[in-house]
Amino acid sequence: MIRPLLVHLLWAAALLAFGAAGASAEGAASQSASSAAPGGLDGISGATAKLYQSRPLRVGIISLWETPETTLALRRTLETIQLAFAPYPVEVNPRVPWTELEHLIKTGGIDVFIASSGFSMRLRPYGAIAVATLITELQPNPNTGVATAILVRSDDDRFQTIADLQGSRLSASYPSAFMSYRTALGEIAVRGFDPEHFFGDVHYTGDSENGSIARRLDTREADVAMVRACWLESLAPEVRARYRVLEPRQDPTLHCAHTSRTYPNIMVSVMQGSAPGAAHVIAKTLLSIPEIAPGHHWGVATDLRPVDRLYRELKIENYAYLREPTVKQWVLTHVVDCILAGLLVLGLGLHSWRVAYLVRRRTAELRASIAEEQAAQARVNELSARMERMQKATVVGQLSNLIAHELAQPLAAVQYYCEGMKELLKQPSLNLQMLEMSRAGILKGVERTKEIVARVRGYSKNQQRRDQAVTLFDAVERVYGGLSSEMTGGVKFSNQGLYGVVVRGDGLEIELLFNNLLKNAFEAASGAMVSAEKPAVNIYARVPPETSGVIEIVVENTGRQLSREDFVNLTTPLITSKSAGQGLGIPIAIAIAEASGGHLVFEPRPKGGLVARVTLPTA
């Protein structure tokens, strides 16, 4: 009871002393610097007083969640700074988020700030200079006053070491928090793990309030939590029993359970842009007070190397360049990968050369093959042209027999009329009527002859038209009448269903088509050496089912049983079993049928012989 009373009495005396100092500063400000009264502000403080006449001293404290005693010490520190500079105004910004405070420091919007040693050190490039470090009963050494306690649930036996935490769920304050996050990441880094990819999931609460960080352990939303050391000791025993500190360290200068190494405590820092007197007044004021709050006072940290080492281990802040290794470092780190990559490039080069060689060789082979194919195609085209010429010659030759039969009648009539006119001219009196009749008959015969010759010439020049109406019965009768008696003798001929059938095509070609079919049929029927049937040739017409506009004419003959080879050779040009034939009759018949818009197919007759089915469009 006596000690707290003494502390409060000392605190009141200090406030009165600072009030007197403020009054003397106000009196000194009304005089010139050369006539300052003895006991007033010294030269440096006087310069500071003059500087801050135009604007307030701007002080900010980062958002910190500490024990009630530490929070009281920080609040009284701000009040002490305000009293030290009275009557000049001090603008205080309590609990500033770290992002906002960092922005104010970088833009010159702050003169003094209170934050962790890590925060102060990483802002050194912007002019931050630490002038005081917090000391407490639990943290008596300013160089070792901060550490992180890694907490797990006391009933969770899965985690006994830091290595066991890999892949677990973490609850932490925010990514740049020094006292409760980065110091713990350093322990992960020194054990050879990548701290940025160590945990399976990380949840940031957004502030440094240790209770909200640990609460996720209670709700089992996290497996592990990172809080500031000494927070656990401020809890009630029954609450403290819910948690367990992972890998606790024993340190005589930090009387709290902690997992990480120790670092300097909270610091008061002054910006370089401030007048030298500001740092002087703050340092003199804070360091001269024996106790700013129960068990708390300000001292000076002399070893910031642990902070520098931590940043190097994590490759952040001033050591971020370590994340961009040199070529030599990269090669040493990836020497095996470099060797494999070199072998891969060499293999790809050899493979590319081999593929190019094979492509060139294959291209040469393809070109030779194409040239050979083109030469073969040229030979085929030449043979086809010769074959077509032979086929035309054969067609013309076969047509000659039909033409001779056609020409015989008009020429015989012409001869008859000429002989009649010769006899009439011998008569003493001319019979003009008979002469005129003879002249007309001769003219008609000549016209008929010219018509037949023109049709033959047009056919040989591919000028024929296949749109004539051809009476099938008459055409077959002419063909049959033109066959020799030696060929038809002894063979029974049957003609059924042809009367009244009119097909569309060229008259001469239709006659030639059936001339070939009937001639082959009679030759096959009469030439069969052994046959159980009497030689016969039947021709008949029928309308195919489900077909309109066409007629099917069937030519069937008896004969010997055809082998498979005989049946194949039947439609192959230039292959024949006849000594005087050329093997073009059937191919010509097939060509005429297809040119006329129909088709011709053959099938062996079950009892021997052949069946030819001709389909032609009707007129």
- pLDDT at position 399 is 60
CA distance 194 to 188: 7
CA distance 514 to 598: 14
| Eight-state DSSP code of residue 543 | P
Q: Are strands 468-471 and 502-505 parallel, antiparallel or unpaired?
A: antiparallel
Q: How far is CA 354 from CA 34, 366, 371, in A?
A: 95, 18, 26
The answer to whether residues 592 and 571 touch, using CB atoms and an 8 Å cutoff, is no
The answer to whether residues 612 and 554 touch, using CB atoms and an 8 Å cutoff, is yes
The answer to whether residues 557 and 580 touch, using CB atoms and an 8 Å cutoff, is no
Question: For residue 149, which of 248, 252, 263 has the smallest C-alpha distance?
Answer: 248
The answer to whether residues 522 and 491 touch, using CB atoms and an 8 Å cutoff, is yes
Return the amino acid letter for 309: R
| Eight-state DSSP code of residue 143 | G
Q: What residues does 602 pair with on adjacent strands?
A: 612
Q: What residues does 496 pair with on adjacent strands?
A: 540
- pLDDT at position 573 is 53
- pLDDT at position 35 is 33
Q: May I ask the CATH class of domain 147-262?
A: alpha beta
Question: What is the residue whose two structure tokens read 């239709």?
Answer: 510
C-alpha dihedral over 591, 596, 597, 600, to 10 degrees? -40
CATH superfamily of 468-617: Histidine kinase-like ATPase, C-terminal domain (3.30.565.10)
DSSP codes joined into one string, 217-274: HHTTS-SEEEEETTSGGGS-HHHHTTEEESS-EEETTEEEEESSPPB---EEEEETTS
Written as six digits, the tokens of 581 are 């034939």
Question: What is the residue whose two structure tokens read 């059937």?
Answer: 586
CA count, 13 A, side-chain hemisphere, 40: 20
Give 316's contacts (C-beta < 8 A, 6+ positions apart): 182
CA distance 441 to 417: 7
Question: For residue 61, which of 263, 166, 208 has the smallest C-alpha distance?
Answer: 208
Give 468's contacts (C-beta < 8 A, 6+ positions apart): 504, 505, 506, 507, 619
The answer to whether residues 466 and 509 touch, using CB atoms and an 8 Å cutoff, is yes
Question: For residue 59, which of 80, 35, 41 has the smallest C-alpha distance?
Answer: 80
Question: For residue 15, which of 74, 86, 112 has the smallest C-alpha distance?
Answer: 86
Return the amino acid letter for 73: A
The answer to whether residues 479 and 537 touch, using CB atoms and an 8 Å cutoff, is no
Farthest-apart Cα atoms in the chain, separation = 190
Q: How far is CA 475 from CA 332, 505, 587, 592, 613, in A?
A: 100, 12, 20, 15, 17
CA distance 293 to 77: 9
Question: For residue 547, which of 449, 487, 618, 482 has the smallest C-alpha distance?
Answer: 618
Written as six digits, the tokens of 555 are 């030519």
- pLDDT at position 77 is 93
CA distance 151 to 146: 16
Written as six digits, the tokens of 62 are 């980062």
Question: For residue 456, which of 415, 372, 496, 398 has the smallest C-alpha distance?
Answer: 398
- pLDDT at position 543 is 82
Question: What is the residue whose two structure tokens read 């010429």?
Answer: 389
Question: For residue 109, which of 164, 56, 152 has the smallest C-alpha distance?
Answer: 56
- pLDDT at position 21 is 38
For the chain, which residues score pLDDT lower than 50?
1-48, 51, 574-575, 579-583
CA distance 71 to 168: 33
Q: Are strands 610-617 and 599-604 parallel, antiparallel or unpaired?
A: antiparallel
3-state SS string over 36-77? CCCCCCCHHHHHHHHHCCCCCEEEEEECCCCCHHHHHHHHHH
CA distance 171 to 369: 74
Written as six digits, the tokens of 4 are 């707290």
Rg over CA atoms, the chain: 62
| Eight-state DSSP code of residue 12 | H
Q: May I ask the CATH class of domain 2-142+266-309?
A: alpha beta
